[in-house]
C-alpha cells in the first residue's frame, strides 16, 4: 500500500523557506497522496479504559480500570505523515516551534561523531542530543532530509504545532479516551492493540527498541528509527502503528490545572528495560512546546 517517494511526488515538489535557525530553504512535498489522509469511522460506545499492570509505573496513573463512553469518531488510519505535514507548511508558511527555537532533540546514535560530541545532552537522559537546526524537515539536523521518508510520521512537532495543523486540516487531536478506544481495536483489556503477546508466533507487530537500550539496537523489527505509517498489520479497527514508532499527542492535559499534555503509544525507542509504554493503556506527558525525533500525532475529523 505504501507508495514510493517518486509516486508521492507526482504533484511536484515545492520550495519552502524554513526559519533562519533551521537552515533556509528545503524542497518538500506539495501534495500528499490521498491514502495518507484516510480515516476510520468508529461507532463509539463504552469500553474499559486504563490498566492495573504490574509492569506499569505508579506515577503514570494508568488505573483504575474504569468504564468510559466515547461518541462516534472518524480517526486517522495512520499518524500524520511527512508528506501531509509538508503540504500544510507549503500552504500556510507555518514555522514550527523547533524551527523558532533553532534546535530539537535527536537520538544520539543517529548523529555523526562530531555532532554527537558537540551537542548538549540532558543529564537524566543522555541518549538525547539537542541538535541545532533539527526540525520536521531535517530530522537529524544538518545534512539530513526527508527523502525516502515521505510516508513516515512527521516528528519534531510540538503539541502547539499539531493543533495548528489540525486548524488548517479541519481536524482535531483525539482525547485520551478516544485514542485508547481506537487503539484497542475492539479488544477488551488486551495489553497491545493485537492481543496480550508482544510478538505472536515470533512476528513483530510494532516498531520498538530491540537489543540493549541505549547502546545496541538490533532492529529485528525492521527499523532503527521511524517506520512507514502503514508498517505492520493494522489493529481490529484498521488503525496502524498505534503503539511504537512515534509517541502521539492527545488533546488532554495530564491533570487538572497542569500545562503538560498526554502522549500515547510509545515510540521506536521504547524498551522494557526502562520504558515499556508501548502497552495500549500506557501514558506519558510532555510540555506543549516540546519537540523530539520520536513524537508525532494522528487526527480526528471535525
Q: Which helix (H) or strand (E) holds 162?
A: helix 159-169
- Supply the pLDDT for residue 74: 98
Per-residue confidence in pLDDT tens, the chain, 302 aa: 322 222 233 335 567 777 766 666 777 665 799 999 999 999 999 999 999 987 888 899 999 999 999 999 999 999 999 999 999 998 999 999 999 999 999 999 999 999 999 999 999 999 999 999 999 999 999 999 999 999 999 999 999 999 999 999 999 999 999 999 999 999 999 999 999 999 999 999 999 999 999 999 999 999 999 999 999 999 999 999 999 999 999 999 998 888 999 999 999 999 998 889 999 999 999 999 999 999 999 999 98
User: Among 302, 282, 49, 299, which Cα is nearest to 181's?
Assistant: 49
- Supply the pLDDT for residue 101: 95
- Supply the pLDDT for residue 9: 31
The total of structural domains in the chain comes to 1
For residue 67, count other CB atoms closer than 10 A to its CB.
8
- Supply the pLDDT for residue 30: 59
CA dist 93 and 58 (Å) reads 42
**What's the alpha-carbon Rg for the chain, to the nearest Å?**
18
Q: How many helices (H) and strands (E) does the chain have?
A: 6, 16
Produce one character per residue of 16-34: b if its CB has 16 or more CB atoms within 10 Å, e if not.
bebbebbbeebbbbbbbbe
CA dist 110 and 12 (Å) reads 29
- Supply the pLDDT for residue 13: 58
Domain hosting 147: range is: 5-301
- Supply the pLDDT for residue 14: 67
Where residue 65 sits, what CATH number does that domain have?
Answer: 3.90.1580.10
Nine cell digits for residue 34: 490521498
Amino acid at each position: 500500500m505504501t507508495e514510493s517517494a517518486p509516486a508521492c511526488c507526482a504533484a511536484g515538489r515545492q520550495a519552502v523557506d524554513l526559519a533562519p535557525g533551521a537552515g533556509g530553504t528545503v524542497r518538500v512535498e506539495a501534495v500528499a497522496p490521498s491514502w495518507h489522509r484516510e480515516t476510520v469511522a468508529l461507532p463509539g460506545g463504552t469500553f474499559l479504559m486504563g490498566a492495573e499492570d504490574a509492569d506499569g509505573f505508579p506515577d503514570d496513573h494508568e488505573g483504575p480500570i474504569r468504564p468510559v463512553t466515547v461518541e462516534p469518531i472518524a480517526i486517522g488510519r495512520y499518524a500524520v505523515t511527512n508528506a501531509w505535514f509538508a503540504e500544510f507548511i507549503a500552504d500556510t508558511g507555518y514555522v514550527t516551534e523547533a524551527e523558532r527555537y533553532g534546535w530539537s532533540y535527536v537520538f544520539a546514535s543517529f548523529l555523526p561523531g562530531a555532532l554527537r560530541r558537540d551537542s548538549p545532552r540532558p543529564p537524566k537522559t543522555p541518549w538525547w542530543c539537542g541538535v541545532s537546526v533539527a526540525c520536521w524537515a531535517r530530522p537529524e539536523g544538518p545534512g539530513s532530509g526527508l527523502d525516502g521518508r515521505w510516508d513516515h510520521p512527521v516528528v519534531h512537532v510540538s503539541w502547539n504545532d499539531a493543533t495548528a495543523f489540525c486548524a488548517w486540516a479541519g481536524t482535531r487531536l483525539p482525547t485520551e479516551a478516544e485514542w485508547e478506544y481506537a487503539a484497542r481495536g475492539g479488544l477488551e483489556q488486551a495489553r497491545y492493540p493485537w492481543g496480550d503477546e508482544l510478538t505472536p508466533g515470533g512476528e513483530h507487530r510494532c516498531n520498538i527498541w530491540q537489543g540493549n537500550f541505549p547502546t545496541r539496537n538490533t532492529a529485528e523489527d525492521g527499523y532503527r528509527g521511524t517506520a512507514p505509517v502503514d508498517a505492520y498489520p493494522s489493529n481490529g479497527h484498521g488503525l496502524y502503528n498505534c503503539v511504537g514508532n512515534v509517541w502521539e499527542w492527545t488533546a488532554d492535559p495530564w491533570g487538572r490545572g497542569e500545562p503538560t499534555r498526554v502522549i500515547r503509544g510509545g515510540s521506536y525507542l521504547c524498551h522494557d528495560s526502562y520504558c515499556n509504554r508501548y502497552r495500549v493503556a500506557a501514558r506519558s506527558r510532555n510540555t506543549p512546546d516540546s519537540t523530539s525525533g520520536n513524537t508525532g500525532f494522528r487526527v480526528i475529523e471535525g
